[in-house]
Amino acid sequence: MLGSPMLVALILVLSSSVSSAVPTAITTSPPTRVVARQIPPSPTNSGTCILHIDHYHCTGVESSAPSTPESSAAPSNENEDLSSGEVISDTGGEGCVQHGTHFHCPAGVQISCTPPQEDYDLGLHIGALFVLLVASLFGVLLPIVLGTRTNHHVSNLFFALKHFGTGIIISTAFIHLLIHAFVLFANECLGELGFEATAPAIAMAAVMVIFAIDFVAARMIAAHSESSLPPDVVNVKIESSSKSGDLTALGHSHEHDGTVAAYDESSKIAHWEVHILEAGIIFHSVMIGVTLGAQGGSGFVPTFCAIVFHQFFEGLGLGARIALLRWPNGGAYKKWLMCAAYTLVTPVGIAIGIGARSSFNLNGRSTLLAIGILDSISAGILLYTGIVHLLFIEWIHGELLNASRIRLTVAIVSLILGLFAMSFIGKWA
């Protein structure tokens, strides 16, 4: 009988201890969600950053002035005295504080969209301006010089360069411009776009605008050509066009008895096509120069080297098209003006970037919008020109339709090499 109270007391003690260990798993309403520790992002204006628990140690950087008066608040790390540091970026009163050659960034600090503080070598940038001037000039003039030679081997080399340039133009549109516009419009400093497909939508609009202008120009040129001919010649011309799909009036290749005639390099439409091509190239070349001129830090040298090859190869593509044109008496100077425009546009952009580097914010909303829109427009122009004017016209309606197997093989290999070369450079520029 004495053991019973003791047994009852033991059972009560055990049950109370068990209930105190697991009541929340059974009796409480929905379980509390466990929140993982937030890892702060690395500062955008830093060199090499190593994460230490809830803050970064960054080396190879320089300090900058606080962005707001509230940014002087010290971070939440209580283990170190950070009161003497300088806040270099802040969000909601919390910021990254510099101590010597490293920074402490508390959890929750967002990416800074202020201009990155990087080492800027003015002499190197000025040298880059002249190097790109030479590379662009050499690239655009080489096909023109080769195109004026009558040597058989030189003519074959020019033929290969022409189709190599076609690959360059198409690859530039896809790899360098369209993807760059995607990246710019996805930048966190720009904010969330209401329409995610902004870049391809602008490119599509550029394609349709250029097509509309191209179509109207072609109709005007065709009407002007017909009005200057005798009525009997016009009737024969219209009848021939309706039967064989003749494109003579537009300056394109055409067929007579199964043979393909040469491209009319002296026609107005041929000159118009090359002007449109250069316009698309110049649009983005300006922004390439401005961005490179304002850029500093360790990433400048590899970007600069890639852009040198970019400008050289793109010059080959444009120069090959300019070399094909035939100018009326006294109009040959326009060819050199087109070469000069391509040669100077990127160096002028670099000069603008150098002059505006103190106020030019590569992470600014207006900068991101401007470059993204121009890149999208240029992508649309080059896509239309490269695929319609250079591929479709020359391969479907041009001399390659009935070319020999050797000549066709050379054209295909050159085209693929052009696509590959500019795509490869796209890894760095």
| pLDDT tens figures, 297-326 | 778 888 899 999 999 999 999 998 898 888
Which residues are within 8 A (CB) of 148 and not within 5 positions of it... i.e. 6 or more apart? 323
- Mean pLDDT of residues grouped by 10 in the chain (429 residues)? 47 45 36 39 52 52 43 43 44 51 50 69 92 94 82 84 92 92 89 88 95 87 68 48 40 42 66 89 88 84 90 91 84 89 94 85 85 92 91 86 91 95 85
At residue 95, the pLDDT reads 55
CA atoms within 13 A on the CB side of 392: 7
Letter string b/e over residues 284-302, b meaning 16 or more CB atoms within 10 A of that residue's CB: bbbbbbbbbbbbbbeebee
Q: Tell me, what amino acid is at 91?
A: T
- Per-residue tokens: 1: 């009988």
pTM above 0.85, yes or no: no
Q: What is the Cβ-side half-sphere exposure of residue 315, based on CA atoms within 13 angstroms? A: 28
Distance between CA 205 and CA 207 in Å, rounded?
5
pLDDT in tens, 377-391: 999 999 999 999 889
Angle between helices 268-294 and 333-355 (to 10 degrees): 20
Which residue reads 């790899």 in tokens? 175
**According to the model, what pLDDT value does residue 67 have?**
42
Report the distance separating Cα 377 and Cα 200, nearest Å.
Answer: 9
Output the pLDDT for position 188: 85
Place of tokens 């696509």: 419
Report residue 318 CA to chain centroid gap. Answer: 18
- In the prediction, which pLDDT does 50 show? 57
Distance CA 164, CA 414 (A): 5
Contact present, 299 and 121 (Cβ < 8 Å): no
Q: Which long-range contacts does 210-213 make (Cβ < 8 Å, 24+ apart)?
A: 210/276, 210/380, 210/381, 210/384, 210/385, 211/384, 211/388, 213/276
Instruction: Check residue 379 and give its pLDDT.
Output: 93
Q: CA 395, CA 388: separation in Å to the nearest integer?
A: 10
Q: Which pLDDT score, from 0 to 100, does residue 118 have?
A: 66
Q: Do 314 and 170 touch, CB atoms closer than 8 A?
A: no
Instruction: Report the pLDDT value the prediction gives residue 37, as an integer from 0 to 100.
Output: 39
Question: For the chain, how long is the longest CA-to-CA vector?
Answer: 135
Closest of 353, 419, 369, 361 to residue 391, by C-alpha: 419
In the chain, the amino acid numbered 294 is A
What is the 3-class SS of the chain, one letter each residue?
CCHHHHHHHHHHHHHHHHHHHCCCCCCCCCCCCCCCCCCCCCCCCCCEEEEECCEEEEECCCCCCCCCHHHHCCCCCCCCCCCCCEEEEEECCEEEEEECCEEECCCCCCCCCCCCCCCCCHHHHHHHHHHHHHHHHHHHHHHHHHHCCCCHHHHHHHHHHHHHHHHHHHHHHHHHHHHHHHHHHCCHHHCCCCCCCHHHHHHHHHHHHHHHHHHHHHHHHHHHHHHCCCHHHHHHHHHHHHHHCCCHHHCCCCEECCEECCCCCCCHHHHHHHHHHHHHHHHHHHHHHHHHHHCCCCCHHHHHHHHHHHHHHHHHHHHHHHHHCCCCCCCCHHHHHHHHHHHHHHHHHHHHHHHCCCCCCCCCHHHHHHHHHHHHHHHHHHHHHHHHHHHHHHHHCCHHHHCCHHHHHHHHHHHHHHHHHHHHHCCCC
